[in-house]
């Protein structure tokens, strides 16, 4: 099938080209993201392959239907960026990659925790300037801390297994309690109880209307003073304005994020020669106890290979008329 591949990065091209030979598919790589100004590039293709920041609303889906697009293959797990009801109306099938490497994201979340707790990012910069002073680098132990895990899907479970190895007490909140996690020693509680008891809160749940801004002024007030907040899931789970206020008062002691609510205007781009227009992320970057990475938690060799294999397999199954195990539909 002919695939229009949007939001292409060099690592996408390298990874997909490994598995493209023999697949029977042809990919046209486009660096631009999919929007109303670029969707015409999909003409002459049968499939659109998109990523997390390609906003696919009803208007775009209507136009893609006119271009005879039959399938949208999301090369990511999240699907809040696409209007599934509109896709159904236009009879466009949608598939995704539900689990490519849960360990990749879980390990990155823990990397944020370790970096913030031991200030290794600051030490690295000091040593490069021949400054070997330890003043201001006092950290905190992870061992013995209570970590609240919000969401125990594949990534949340991988995170729990890592945290268990550090000797942490694990408490969790999820709509569905996982028996494997209970065997591991994870106990499930209400969101309020998890937030109130945790030294570290790590978010691993999908973005839905119910979880949008689940971390807000009210829920932050339920947390311990000096709590560490980690988000490697979706940016809009967190009300950024409320978090900034909590950082200023010390309610939030550390913040580590790999996602941001307005990231589609910032992440995956080199803006080093530009003036940052987003005042909220600019404000976050002024805090010494905040660590921000640009949506790289998924970015490992192993994860990219899985994303490529599963995406191409999804497209092949669609072409052959097979049952689509990774299809997503409106509920």
Among 234, 273, 279, 283, the one annotated catalytic: 234
| Dist. CA 174–CA 105, nearest whole Å | 18
Q: Which domain holds residue 228?
A: 102-292
Q: Are residues 171 and 205 in the same domain?
A: yes
157 labelled catalytic = no
Q: Is residue 56 domain-shared with residue 74, that is, in the same domain? A: yes
pLDDT above 90 (res 53): no
Whether residue 56 is contained in a domain is answered as: yes
Q: Once rounded to an integer, what is the mean pLDDT over residues 74-84?
A: 92
Residues 6+ apart with CB under 8 A from 267: 53, 260, 294, 295
For residue 234, indicate whether it is catalytic: yes
| DSSP class of 210 | T
Residues 68 and 180 in one domain: no
82 shares a domain with 110: no
How many C-beta atoms surround the C-beta of residue 262 within 10 A? 14
In a domain, 217, yes or no: yes
For residues 255 and 173, state if they share a domain. yes
Q: How do residues 1-52 score in pLDDT, each as one tens digit?
A: 999 999 999 999 999 999 999 999 999 999 999 999 999 999 999 999 999 8
Active-site pick, 295, 302, 305, 319: 295
CATH number at residue 62: 3.40.50.720
Please give the mean pLDDT across all residues of the chain: 96
Phi, psi of 3, deg, nearest 5: -115, 125
Q: Is 90 helix (H, G, I), strand (E, B) or coil?
A: coil
Alpha helices in 5-153 (DSSP H): 10-19, 58-66, 84-89, 102-118, 120-128
Asked if residue 327 belongs to a domain, the reply is no
222 and 305 together in one domain = no
* Closest by CA position to 260, among listed 287, 233, 226: 233
Domain membership of residue 176 (yes or no) is yes
How many whole angstroms from its chain centre is CA 2?
28
**CA distance linking residue 229 with residue 246, whole number of Å:** 11
Residue of 25, 46, 108, 263 marked active site = 263
Would residue 243 count as lying in a domain? yes
Mean pLDDT (whole number) for 275-279: 92
Residue 18 within any structural domain of the chain: yes
How much is the average pLDDT of 246-269? 95
CA atoms within 13 A on the CB side of 186: 29
Q: Do the domain assignments include residue 330?
A: no
Indicate whether 223 and 243 sit together in one domain: yes
326 in any annotated domain = no
In total, how many domains does the chain have?
Answer: 2
Say if residue 150 is in the same domain as residue 279: yes
Do 214 and 90 share a structural domain? no
Same domain? For 134 and 182 the reply is: yes
Residues 122-154 pLDDT 10s = 999 999 999 999 999 999 999 999 999 999 999
Residues with Cβ < 8 Å from 322, sequence gap 6 or more? none
Is 295 among the catalytic positions?
yes
Q: How far is residue 210's CA from residue 219's CA, in Å, rounded to a whole number?
A: 14
Q: How many Å apart are CA 70 and CA 99, to the nearest integer?
A: 23
Q: Are 295 and 104 in contact (CB under 8 A)?
A: no
Q: Are strands 200-203 and 146-150 parallel, antiparallel or unpaired?
A: parallel
Residue 77 has pLDDT above 90, yes or no: no
147 in the same domain as 67: no
Are 69 and 168 within one domain? no
């Amino acid at each position: 099938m002919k695939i229009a591949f949007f939001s292409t990065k060099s690592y996408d091209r390298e990874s997909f080209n490994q598995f493209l030979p023999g697949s029977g598919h042809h990919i046209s790589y486009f660096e631009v993201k999919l929007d109303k100004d670029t969707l015409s590039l999909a003409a002459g293709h049968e499939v659109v392959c998109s990523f997390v920041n390609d906003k696919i609303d009803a208007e775009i889906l209507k136009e893609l239907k006119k271009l005879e697009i039959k399938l949208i293959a999301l090369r990511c797990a999240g699907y809040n960026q696409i209007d599934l009801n509109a896709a159904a109306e236009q009879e466009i099938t949608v598939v995704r990659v539900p689990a490519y490497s849960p360990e990749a994201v879980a390990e990155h979340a823990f990397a944020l925790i370790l970096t913030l707790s031991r200030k290794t990012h600051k030490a690295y910069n000091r040593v490069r300037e021949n400054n070997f002073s330890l003043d201001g680098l006092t950290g905190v132990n992870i061992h013995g801390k209570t970590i609240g895990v919000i969401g125990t899907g594949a990534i949340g479970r991988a995170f729990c297994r890592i945290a268990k190895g550090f000797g942490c007490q694990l408490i969790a909140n999820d709509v569905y309690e996982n028996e494997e996690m209970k065997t591991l020693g994870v106990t499930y509680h209400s969101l309020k109880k998890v937030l109130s008891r945790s030294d570290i809160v790590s978010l691993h749940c999908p973005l839905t209307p119910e979880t949008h801004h689940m971390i807000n002024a009210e829920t932050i007030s339920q947390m311990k003073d000096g709590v560490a907040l980690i988000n490697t899931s979706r940016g809009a789970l967190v009300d950024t304005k409320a978090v900034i206020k909590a950082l200023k008062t010390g309610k939030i002691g550390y913040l580590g994020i790999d996602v941001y609510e307005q990231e589609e205007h910032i992440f995956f781009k080199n803006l080093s020669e530009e003036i940052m227009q987003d005042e909220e992320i600019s404000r976050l970057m002024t805090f010494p106890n905040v660590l921000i990475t640009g949506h790289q938690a998924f970015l490992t060799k192993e994860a990219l290979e899985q994303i490529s294999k599963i995406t191409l397999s999804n497209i092949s199954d669609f072409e052959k008329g097979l049952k689509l195990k990774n299809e997503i539909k409106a509920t």
